[in-house]
Amino acid sequence: MEERRLTIGVTGATGAIGNCFVQFLTQTGIAEVRALLRKTPQYEHPDLRFIYGSLFDFPSLEELVIQSDVIVHLAAINPTNSKIDREETGLFFATNRCGSKALSHLAQKHGKRLIHASTVAAYELSKRTDGLFHEQEPLPGRIKTQAWFFSAMKRIEELEAQWMSGRLQGILAAINDLLVSYPPPERESVYALSKYMGEYPVVSYSEGYMLRFSDVYGPGDESSRLIPDVIRAILEGKEVSISFGPRERVSFVYIWDVVKALVLSATARDMPNIPVALNPNLPKIINVASTYAVNEKEFIHELKRISREAGVPTRITTGRRTQKESSRSFSTNAMEYELGIVNPVSLHEGLALTLRYFQLSPEKRRIISL
């Protein structure tokens, strides 16, 4: 009798990471997939089924959990800039916190493992701005932020309880009203606060695990973030200006290393034939980052190198100098020893692969997206 395969439920399946993750699972046959979507996708596969809904649709979330053995929660609202983010504070917390809370509650109710995608941006809440950051970093680090954070989380928990019991229908509107009257501290990132608050219900669940991703890039990311924008500009023959803003260094991690981390953490106990030594008792939080964070000069060097190798002329300069406020790098010990990812894709190789992806026609790039 053939053993039943693992079924993995995925939120955020149409994002760059989710798209690569779902296609890897279906094309390798590692698992069947249930994807939470708001609209009909282009990609189809016999091992891929869809549940239509959103993070604000509690019955759809429960259906996703019921049909899955493991849930991989990738859906999130990502930052644009501090001013725009402030205007969308309610949406950030309703998505990044309440979605995580609902899935943690449902995973515990139905006895399912939950893998939650978080971010190294959480370390922006530390008192420190420089150095190596481990998963055990005390957060939030500033006393005023701590006071707001735990008070706001208690108020949000009360609204979540009403929403999950069916007594409150519009969780987004309720969160928005709360945070208009009780806004986050001005100096803190709305994105970092909302993502870190979203970690709390996952940490408190015995079968909940978190991966904190650094700056993810690679094929499939068609956004207006730094690397896609720079690669497009290079291929269009435009002059490129590089600025990391207030960051002295950036830890770029290639998208397929992120997919590998998701697969390994989701299947650790169910796929003993995976050729890597895995700890079945994974730590609660694992940084998934580059082993080396680059500065602007090093980044420009790699861009010029891949452009030269591809025969593409480039004009790359350093952007307007910004006062550097942080120089963070991230411990990858847990990623290496617990997940077995010891040789992540180098920045040079990852940038070269990303450039080749953008050299494809839009039609061919569309084929490899949900």
**Tens digit of each residue's pLDDT (9 = 90 or more) over 154-201:** 999 999 999 999 999 899 999 999 999 999 999 999 999 999 999 999
Where do the structural domains in the chain lie, given as residue ranges? Answer: 6-221+252-290+328-345
Instruction: Count other Cβ atoms within 10 Å, centred on residue 224.
Output: 9
Q: Taking the chain, what is the end-to-end CA distance rounded to the nearest angstrom? A: 33
User: What are 143's two structure tokens?
Assistant: 């006393």
Residue 327, φ and ψ in degrees, nearest 5: -145, 80
Average pLDDT score over the chain: 91
Q: What is the pLDDT of residues 257-280, one digit of tens each?
A: 999 999 999 987 544 444 333 455
Q: Beta-carbon neighbour count of residue 79 at 10 Å?
A: 19
Please give the model's pTM, rounded to 2 decimal places: 0.93
Write the single-letter amino acid at 63.
Answer: E
- pLDDT by residue (tens digit) across 296-340? 999 999 999 999 999 998 889 887 666 778 899 999 999 999 899
**DSSP H or E run through 320:** none
Residues belonging to the chain: 370
Tens digit of each residue's pLDDT (9 = 90 or more) over 101-128: 999 999 999 999 999 999 999 999 999 9
**CATH architecture assigned to 6-221+252-290+328-345:** 3-Layer(aba) Sandwich (3.40)
